[in-house]
Amino acid sequence: MTDTGFKTGKAAIIGGGVIGGGWAARFVLNGWHVKIFDPHPEAENRAGLVLENARLSLPSLTDFPMPPEGKITFAQSIKEAVTDADWIQESVPEDLSLKHKVISEIEKETSDSILIGSSTSGFKPSELQIGAKSSKRILVAHPFNPVYLLPLVEVVGSDGTGAEALDCACEILRSIGMQPLIVRKEIEAHIADRFLEAVWREALWLVKDDIATTAEIDDAIRFGFGLRWAQMGLFETYRLAGGDEGMAHFIAQFGPCLSSPWTKLMDVPDLTDELVDKIASQSDAQSANYTIRELERIRDRNLVGILRALKERNWGAGTTLRDFDKRLTQADSSDMSSQIDSSKPMRMLDLTVLPAWIDYNGHMTEFRYAQVFSDTCDKLLMMIGMDSNYAANIGSYYTAETHAMQIDDVGADEQIYSTMQLLMADSKRLHVFFRLQAADDDRILATTEAMYLHVGRESGRVCDAQSNLIENAKRIADAHADLPQPKAMGRHVGQRK
C-alpha cells in the first residue's frame, strides 16, 4: 500500500499489562484514541503508570510537536473495546487457548477488514489463526519493552495472511514511529527472542557454575557488545572485526571456534529451587538501591539519550526517528494556515533538556541554544515548502547575520519550547526572531534574531526563492505584522538595557 505519512485513528488494546499498556501509550501519545479491556482489578492503575512514564520520555525523541494526545478509556468488555477500532492489539498472557478465545470474541464484533495484531513472543501466526473465521487479518506484531520507546516490532504472517494485510500493518506501525521487521517465514519465537533465549540459556549456566554473578553478566553486555549491537547489529560488528579483509577473514579466523566447547547453548540447566533462589537473590542485590519505577525512568532517560545520539548521526535506530520526524513535519506543513495565529508568535518545537546538554555549571550549554534555534529555523523552512529535494536541486536559505541573548538558566530534564516571529519576508530574505521559553511558566530563556538569504544551488549567489516559498513566507509575515516588535530586536553586542 502507498505510504501516506502521519495518521491517527482508534486502537483497541486487549490486555493492559506491561506490553499492552506500552502499546496504549504509544498510540495515545501519537494522537490515537485508545480503548483498553483488561479484567484485572489494577488494570487502570497499571496502564496509567506506564502512560505517565511514556509522557516523560517519548516526546523527547522528536524535534517536532507531537500531535494532540488521544483519549484513553477502559472498556468493560471486548465488544466495547473493539467497536469502531482501526487497529486491534491482543496482548493477553502467553496461553494459546486464551488467545484463541480472545480472537474469537474479537471476530464476532468486528469486520474482516480490521487487522488483529498479537503481541505474542513465541506463537506462530498459523497457530493463532486456528479456528478463526478470517485468518488473513490475524498476524503477529511483536514489540519490545518499553513499547512506547523501542521502535522494533516483528511483523509475522502465515501462508494465510495476505500481503495487503502485512503492508497495511507496516504502514500503521510506521505512522506511530515504529520500525516493522517482516519475518520471512513464521517460526517459534520469531527472530529477536531466539537470540535472547540463546543468551539467556548461557547466562543461566554462568550463574549456576559460579563463573559470574547476575551483575557481572549484565556489565559484560551493557559496557561492551551491547553498545555495539545497539547501533550495528551482529553481522556488521563481526564484519568490522575482520579488518580490511572483511567478513571472510573473520570467519576464517573464528569460524572453527564454533565447534569448540565454549558454550552450553542447547544444554539448559534444570531450574531447581536452589538455582532460582541464587539468581533472584543476586538480581535483587544488584538493584537494591532503586524501586522498579525509578529503574524504569532511569532506563527510559538512558534510552532517550542513546536514541537521540543515534538520530543525530542518522545511524541505526536513529534513521527511524528521522523518518518519524519527517512524518510529523509533513503533517504540520500540510495545512500551514491552521497553525498561523495572528495574536502570537508561532510555537515550533517542544523539547526536554537532556543531561548531555548540561555544562559543568549545571546549565544548558551555548551550543545547545544554537542547535535548538537552528532546528526551529529548519522547521520554518520546511513549513514554507523547502524540502530536501528543493535544497538539493534549487537552493536554500543561508544565515547572513544573527544576534543571540542568553537570558535565564535551564537545567537537565526541564521542558522547553521555541517560538518564531517572522518580522519580514521578501523574495530573497527572511528576518526572524526566535524565543526559547520554559514550558512550566513561559519565562524567556534565550532569544535569537536572524537574517537569512536565499542562495541558488547552481549560482552560489543570492537569488529569488521559488514563488510558493515566497508566498508561504509572506502569509506568515503578514499574520505577524501587527505583533509587538521584540524588545531585543536590532540590539548589538554590549548594548545597555
Is 330 within the bounds of a domain?
A: no
Residue 318: the pLDDT is 86
Same domain, 136 and 214: no
Q: What is the mean pLDDT of the chain?
A: 89
Mean pLDDT in residue range 376-400? 91
CATH number at residue 81: 3.40.50.720
Q: Which three cell numbers stand for residue 256?
A: 572453527
Same domain, 169 and 239: no
CATH number at residue 224: 1.10.1040.10
- The Cα diameter of the chain in Å comes to 79
Same domain, 169 and 228: no
- pLDDT over 80 (residue 23): yes
Is residue 257 exposed (0-12), middle (13-18) or buried (19+ Cβ within 10 Å)? exposed
Same domain, 266 and 165: no
- pLDDT over 60 (residue 4): no
What is the residue whose three cell numbers read 534444570?
270
Residue 387: the pLDDT is 82
CA 311/CA 304 separation, integer angstroms: 10
Strand order in the sheet with 346-352: 346-352, 415-425, 429-438, 444-456, 395-406
Same domain, 436 and 353: yes
Confidence of residue 337 (pLDDT cuts 50, 70, 90): low
- 210, amino acid identity: D
Q: Which of 125, 138, 136, 101 is nearest to 189 (CA)?
A: 125
Q: Which three cell numbers stand for residue 50?
A: 506506564
Are 142 and 190 a contacting pair, CB within 8 Å? yes
Is 294 within the bounds of a domain?
A: no
Is 312 within the bounds of a domain?
A: no
Per-residue pLDDT of 389-404, as tens digits, reads 898 899 999 999 999 9
Is 365 within the bounds of a domain?
A: yes
Is 494 within the bounds of a domain?
A: no
CA 478/CA 426 separation, integer angstroms: 11
Is 91 within the bounds of a domain?
A: yes
Residue 329: the pLDDT is 61
Same domain, 183 and 221: no
Per-residue pLDDT of 134-178, as tens digits, reads 999 999 999 999 999 999 999 999 998 989 999 999 999 999 999
Are 303 and 149 a contacting pair, CB within 8 Å? yes
Residue 330: the pLDDT is 64
Q: What is the DSSP letter of 364?
A: B
Same domain, 35 and 153: yes
- Boundary of a domain, candidates 137, 162, 190: 190
Same domain, 26 and 174: yes
- Boundary of a domain, candidates 227, 255, 289: 289
Most confident of 7-11, 230-234, 377-381, 399-403: 399-403
- pLDDT over 70 (residue 195): yes
∠ CA 159-163-169, nearest 5°, is: 110
Q: Which domain holds residue 235?
A: 193-289
- What phi and psi, each to the nearest 5 degrees, are found at residue 477? -60, -40
- CA distances from residue 469 to 4, 170, 427, 457, 479 in whole angstroms, order as listed: 23, 33, 9, 15, 16
Residue 331: the pLDDT is 58
- pLDDT over 60 (residue 424): yes
Same domain, 370 and 460: yes
Residue 322: the pLDDT is 83
Residues 6+ apart with CB under 8 A from 258: none
Per-residue pLDDT of 262-294, as tens digits, reads 677 767 788 888 988 888 888 888 878 888 888
Same domain, 446 and 422: yes
CATH number at residue 409: 3.10.129.10
How many folded domains does the chain comprise? 3
CA 96/CA 77 separation, integer angstroms: 20
Same domain, 57 and 166: yes
Q: Other CB atoms closer than 10 Å to residue 172's CB: what's the count? A: 22
Is 493 within the bounds of a domain?
A: no
Q: Is 461 helix (H, G, I), strand (E, B) or coil?
A: coil
Confidence of residue 214 (pLDDT cuts 50, 70, 90): very high
pTM of the model: 0.72
Spell 58-90 as b/e; 16+ CB within 10 A means b: bbbbbbbbbbeebebebbeebeebbeebbbbbb
Higher pLDDT, 351 or 255: 351
Same domain, 42 and 95: yes
Is 146 within the bounds of a domain?
A: yes
